[in-house]
Amino acid sequence: MCHRRFGIGADGLILLRNEPGYDFKMVYFNADGGEGSMCGNGGRCTVRFAHDLGIFKEKAIFLAVDGPHEATATPDLIHLKMSPVKDLEKHDTYDFIDTGSPHYIAYVDNVDQTEVVSIGRAVRNNETYGPLGGTNVNFVEVKSPNHLKVRTYERGVEDETYSCGTGVTACALSSRAHFGWESPVRIDTVGGELQVAFREVAATQFDDIYLIGPAVKVFEGTF
């Protein structure tokens, strides 16, 4: 289904399931067929889909692979509460954060001229992260205070993805650690603009993290 030439074409497949005690359960599969870790933008799309189906009216609580999530749906935006982040690792040339999925973050001068696929694939499979199942790799350009531009190489997709929700969340938290920026942070991706709001509870620890952006139905069909 995810194949770009012989299927519908997608970075992943999300199933909406019933789950006792929750409005629904989200189950995410990468394009390579493996069950994936948390997908932030997929979560927002799932919330919009469930809302359009009438499963909830405005606020939802659902279960994902990394635990429970809260979300709010308005006509224009989805506010998705992400899991707390307990540790932001700062290395000499990059940061590493798990926001429900693992993310490597490197700051660059010009993200449009960065070789996202070749560098991202090398980092994803390097001796540090390869044995652990790999990592997603984010390249970040600072546009202005509280404003980033991000491109992401996504494991499982094994290519650049046009927008990664857990990735932009990781980049926003990294910017707080590096530049002391206040919440929210605006982030441009190839796929559009997102915002990340957060509360820093201690050094390198964050809670009340919200991924905010639109989610729009594009088409429907049978396969």
Inter-residue contact 44 to 77 (CB < 8 Å): no
CB atoms within 10 A of CB 35: 10
**Catalytic residue list contains 39:** yes
CB atoms within 10 A of CB 91: 11
The catalytically annotated residue of 2, 39, 45, 164 is 39
Q: Which helix (H) or strand (E) holds 80?
A: strand 78-81
Closest CA to 51 of 16, 97, 9, 13: 16
CA–CA gap between residue 71 and residue 82 (Å, rounded): 9
What is the length of the chain?
A: 223
In which residue are the tokens 């599969």 written? 29
| Dihedral sign from CA coordinates of 174, 215, 47, 4 | negative
CA–CA gap between residue 176 and residue 204 (Å, rounded): 9
Which residues does the annotation mark as catalytic?
39
